[in-house]
Amino acid sequence: MDLSSFAPEQQCRATLLGLVQAIKVTSKTDKKFRELVAKKDFTICICIRTENIGRVYTFKGGKVTSKSGKDYTTDVVMEFNDSRDAMRMFVPWRDYLDVINMAKLFKMGASGNETLAVHFTDILSAIFDNRVKYGIKMPDGTMRYTNNTNGGPVFVYVKDGKIIRITPMDLAEDDAEPWTIKARGKEFTPTKKVTVSPHTQGIKSTIYSKDRILYPMKRVDFDPNGERNPQNRGISGYERISWDEATDIVANEIMRVKEEHGPGAIMNGTGSHHTWGNLGYWLSCRIRFFNTIGTTYVAHNPDSWEGFYWGAMHHWGNSIRLGSPDTYNTVEDALQHTDMIVFWSADPESTSGVYGAMEGTQRRLWAKELGIEFVHIDPFYNHTAALLGGKWLANNPGTSNAMALAIAYVWMQEGLYDKDFVEDKTEGFAEWKEYVLGNEDGIPKTPEWQEPETGIPAHDVRALARKWGSKKVYLAAGGIQGFGSAGRAATGSEWARSMVCLMAMQGIGKPGVNMGCLQQGTPIDTRFFFPGYAEGGLSGDYTGTGVGINMYQRMPQVMTMNPVKQKVPRLRIPEAIMDGHTTGYPTDTTQIEGQFFEFGYPAPGHSPIKMYYKYGGSHFGTMNDTNRYARMYRHKNLETVINQSIWMEGEAKFADVILPACTNFERWDIGEFASSGGYIHHNYNQCNHRVITLQHKCIEPLGESKSDFEIFKMIATKMDMGAYFTEGSSELEWTKRLFYGTDLKDVTTWSKFLKKGYYIVPPPKEEDRDPVSWRWYYEGRKKDVPEMNPLPADTTKFFEGLQTQSGKIEFVCNSLKRFAPDDPERPVMTKYIPSWEGTHSGELYEKYPLQLITPHSRYSFHTMMDGKDSHINDIVDHRVEIDGYYYWIVRLNDKDAEARGITQNQIVEVHNDRGSVLCAAQLTSRVPKGTVHSYESSALYEPIGEPGESPDRGGSMNVLTPSRPIIKKSHSTACNSCLVNIRVWEGE
């Protein structure tokens, strides 16, 4: 029946009557739906406020009946202002802009019993959700679904409700053909398949893991109405409880601390990453929930970018990228023009850039085929160096800036730099030159000068400087630009600053002269819109995520707003809890000066933290001086600790109540390969193909685990905020809402996308590719790459110049001159400042003569895929099994091992004054004498005695790293400045 020819009142009456039929018909054919309907007996009246239209529905024993009329005494009343409004909501093709408008204007609403109201919306959603058909039936009887991960999109083969296999995606004939780059008489086209990272190839083993939390649990000696025993966190065991009991405790505790202590008493923290998907936990439903209840958020430091954020940004801006450069179309430029790539603290073969799977590998092998030369500056002979070859310069950790200054010295002395560029496009060079040449401090920064600091022979540095100064060179500072372990060190910001200065001397933007290592900058289509996860999903957060920038006009949703102004710097959580006060500096992308705004905890008029609601267990593996966090959890100041986690590991073991979440393979979501959005705008340009995936719900959640959305919905419902939290939409409906907010709707249909599960965005024609980054700047034109940075207010003329005060690259930084011109830790121009924990540390260095570096891990993604009884643990270069326990690996030079009587795969204790970690020793020449290498981010923190006070055998190397920030005026990690010693472990 076509309703549109009838008046709205008639349409409305017919729809209200038709709803009963829809429920009855669906009940007949759908067992799951029948069970849902039978769950609760209740009455609901749907009616029109200004008209005499209404219908009362009675659900009893799984049957539904209805009668005409308004009745405000039913369990739930759902009311619309007029019948036209009601019809806007009732039609399946509803426009959510109308719905949001109605909600905001109080033209629709539900009252009465919240649990029953949410239950009713579940029934309405299920009428449509339960009917969807998705996935591809395969010849062997499996269904092939798609999903997505931190290490690439995947096909998921499922049979009888069980995942059989997870594979990379081989693209189909009818998928868009990839691009071709013509360079030096050759043509390069990427293979028509999508790569995955090892941690993704091992992911099935973490879905089916004995460490999965399968039901809600409560610490046995935690009684929210009596003794809480915080001192026993991390020691006492757990008992299984029901979801109802668990969510009762959590909801009651949230309401209690708010009433007893006022705003700010609840803190929420999470890892920097999550399972993949735009709608899942991280910047989406987590924020929607915690904004809804009012939360002191943990403020993240710019963890992977430290040096570029606190240092490099002052020279050239790029605040939207935390001080890193953009890299548009640099793959083509590098393959066509560059002579050499200098990898400086850059190991994309280990880190995949970030989220980039093994997409860049193929392109780097093309560069090798073309004869492009490589140099690798890294204290560790990393995997990129091992694959590509080229000179390895193993500098002492934390000394890179000395080498950089010596390179600049050679260029200045021998005239090996772009004088026109320096003259026209930079400011302050003459002043910095005085320092480099030694006219300021009497110390010329010669290659000979840097040799005792870096350990690199002067002749090698001079050879590198001469080659670099006379050829076209790409500089890779980090696996993706702005990353790199050298930036996460006591000298990190000075190193990053020098990287900018070196590029300024060589005329960045000239053909063949730019930043990158073929990891970013593929010629894909950047104009086709699909959001990254930082666009905020369903968060409703128009100010704290990209919703307000990129999604407001595309996927309207009810705004959520956290009124609590208090925040806690992530690296100072222990001090905030145990000392009751701390300070920090923000990670602000809007302007260069955003980072200067020191903030204090507690915030004025706010409550100290009483309840910590943490997601997952990652902080032990990833935050410095980790034992502080263990001690903090056991402190009386924390009244309640909730942990929502997929696996029983790390911090989860320190919670009072544990809520079991499921993986993204067990719920609906939608997301694009490597597309983070946010700090790494157009991050999918690491990929050879833009792969947008529907993340099918492949299997039912294991055990009693639930999606994060469902968990939050249950808790919110107990605080009468359930309908506000969900907007009446199920996860599948949110997925569809996001689909319609993107350009996908113009190139495919929802049902096709639902079935096939992915879409490949065709690359633009060769002549339509994006311009090369910095070319506009080099050629003195307006900015022409597709990013809105800097903001108009940060320039003098729209799209002209950089974000700095002068609009130029500044060798001497105006922002620092204005803020703290005499700061000895961060001078107005970059200088060599030796590490505050390193070879100049005197007695400490004598006691702990080994310098430990802990880069991002290769086989796990932060704490993901490590531990968990995963297949990854069986990789011989990831963990080593000794007597049934999988030990984390520490790599040390054969000579250092010999001097300590350490043999291959022996259990050793890596120790300093902050703590100790038991590892398996790997003897190698891949680190020079005096340097030891281990990865950060063990998922396991397993102290052999009292938590916080005894050796950890899980492998959390951050137990050893300093909590001191790079510079005082920052919130940063200097994890790669860490002195330790190592001894054979002979037991307790």
Q: Which residues bind another protein (CB under 8 A)?
A: 139-140, 164-168, 170, 191, 193, 195-196, 198, 201-202, 204-205, 208, 349, 357-358, 361-362, 365, 381, 383, 386-387, 389, 391-394, 447-448, 457-460, 462-464, 467, 859, 869, 871-877, 881, 924-926, 928
**Which helix (H) or strand (E) element contains residue 655?**
none
Choice between 196 and 335, CB closer to another protein: 196
Q: Which of 273, 315, 681, 878 is catalytic?
A: 273
**737: amino acid identity, one letter:** R
Residue 446 or 582: the one with the smaller Cβ distance to another protein is: 446
Q: How far is the CB of 186 from another protein (least distance, A)?
A: 16
- State the Cα–Cα distance between residues 662 and 157, nearest whole angstrom: 18
H helix runs in 691-822, sequence order: 708-718, 722-726, 731-740, 744-747, 750-756, 775-778, 814-819
Q: Tell me whether residue 249 or residue 340 sits nearer to another protein (CB atom).
A: 340
For 555, the token pair is 């996927």
What gap in Å lies between CA 233 and CA 231, rounded to an integer? Answer: 6
894, containing H or E segment: helix 894-899
CB of 162 to another protein, least distance (A): 8
* Shortest Cβ 133–another protein spacing (Å): 23
Tokens read off for 897: 């091992």
Closest approach of Cβ 886 to another protein, in Å? Answer: 9
| Angle, CA of 977, 856 and 309, to the nearest 5° | 65
Catalytic residue among 303, 326, 625, 896: 303
| Closest to another protein by CB, 239 or 874 | 874
Between 610 and 871, name the residue whose CB sits nearer to another protein: 871
Residue 285 or 865 having the CB closest to another protein: 865
Beta carbon nearer to another protein, 877 or 949: 877
Q: Which of 526, 528, 527, 544 is nearest to 536 (CA)?
A: 544
DSSP 918: E
Token representation of residue 271: 């890892």
> Contact at 8 Å (CB) between 37 and 62?
yes
Are residues 146 and 694 in contact, defined by beta-carbon separation less than 8 angstroms?
yes
Give Cα 732 distance to the centre of its chain.
23
By C-beta, is 62 or 457 nearer to another protein?
457
Strands, E assignment, 277-405: 296-299, 340-344, 373-377, 391-393
Cβ at position 214, least distance to another protein in Å: 17
3-state secondary structure of 153: coil
CA atoms within 13 A on the CB side of 72: 5
Nearer to another protein, 202 or 586 (CB): 202
CA-angle at 259, arms to 282 and 281, nearest 5°: 10
Instruction: For another protein, give the closer residue by CB, 254 or 358.
Output: 358
Residue 705 tokens, joined? 């685990």
Q: In which residue are the tokens 């993704």 written?
A: 200
- Going by C-alpha positions, the residue among 342, 328, 340, 321 that lies closest to residue 776 is 328
Of 441 and 874, which CB lies nearer to another protein in the complex structure?
Answer: 874
* 243, 704 contact by CB (below 8 A): yes
**Nearest to residue 233, comparing CAs of 245, 222, 242, 217?**
222
3-state helix/strand/coil string of 230-297: HHHCCCCCEEECCHHHHHHHHHHHHHHHHHHHCCCCEEEECCCCCCCCCCCHHHHHHHHHHHHHCCEE
Taking the complex as a whole, the smallest distance from the CB of residue 689 to another protein amounts, in Å, to 14
How much of the chain is in helix, strand and coil states, percent to nearest 5?
A: 35, 20, 45
| Least Cβ distance, residue 380 to another protein (angstroms) | 11
Cβ-contact 785, 770 below 8 angstroms = yes
Alpha-carbon distance 899 to 128, whole Å? 69
Radius of gyration (Cα) for the chain, nearest Å?
A: 29
Residue 387 Cβ vs another protein, minimum distance, rounded to whole Å: 4
- Strands 809-810, 426-427: parallel, antiparallel or unpaired by DSSP? parallel
Token code pair at residue 252:
């009651």
Least separation in angstroms between residue 165's CB and another protein is 6
The closest of 944, 883, 879, 880 to 917, measured between CA atoms, is: 944
Token pair listed for 616: 């997952």
- 917 and 888 in contact (C-beta within 8 Å)? yes
| Of 57, 409, 533, 848, catalytic | 533
CB of 891 to another protein, least distance (A): 11
273 catalytic? Reply is yes
Minimum Å distance from CB 907 to another protein? Answer: 19
Q: Minimal distance in Å, beta carbon 200 to another protein?
A: 9
Can you say whether the dihedral through the CA atoms of 113, 119, 123, 126 is positive or negative?
positive
Encoded tokens for 414: 């021998």
351-372: b or e for each residue (b if 16 or more CB lie within 10 Å)? bbbbbbbbbbbebbebbeebeb
CB of 217 to another protein, least distance (A): 24
Tell me the C-alpha distance between 843 and 280, whole Å.
49
- Give the strand order in the sheet containing 143-147: 136-137, 143-147, 154-159, 162-167
Asked whether the bond before 792 is cis by omega within 30 degrees of 0, the reply is: no
Peptide bond into 224 cis (omega under 30): no
Residue closer to another protein (CB basis): 362 or 637: 362
C-beta of 75 vs 649, nearer to another protein: 649
Active-site residue numbers? 273, 303, 533
